[in-house]
Amino acid sequence: MLKASKSYLILPFKEVAVALVQLATRIDASVKKAVERLCETRGLKMNRFIEEALLDKLEELEDVEDLKTLLCEPTRPLSEILKDLKLDGKL
C-alpha cells in the first residue's frame, strides 16, 4: 500500500509541494548493510541517498535512449563544417 504525505521542496525563490509515497522492495541484506554503513559514515539520510540513486539511474537510462537516437542521425565530416563556417565568416 502506498502512503502519500505532503512535503515541501525548497528551490531558489520557490516552494513546491511534493507528494511523497512509500516504496517497499526486497534487496540483498549485504546491499542494505553497505548502504546503511555508507550513509552512517558520510552523514547521509538513507531515503535521500536511495532517491538520488534512483534518479541517477533513470537519467542514465534516458541518456542511453538519447544516444541510440543520436547514433541514427546523419553526420557531416568536420572538414565540411569548417568550410561552411569559413564561408559564413564565422571562422
Q: Outline where DSSP puts E strands in the chain.
A: 4-11, 14-21
Number of domains in the chain: 1
85 occurs within a structural domain: no
77 occurs within a structural domain: no
Q: What is the pLDDT of residue 10?
A: 52
52 occurs within a structural domain: yes
Q: What is the pLDDT of residue 45?
A: 96
pLDDT digits (tens, 9 = 90+) for 7-32: 555 555 566 677 888 999 999 999 99
9 occurs within a structural domain: yes
pLDDT digits (tens, 9 = 90+) for 76-90: 999 999 998 988 787
Q: What is the residue type of 68? A: K
Q: What is the pLDDT of residue 51?
A: 94
90 occurs within a structural domain: no
Which structural domain range is residue 43 located in?
A: 4-72
78 occurs within a structural domain: no
| CA-closest candidate to residue 21, choices 45, 1, 4, 46 | 4
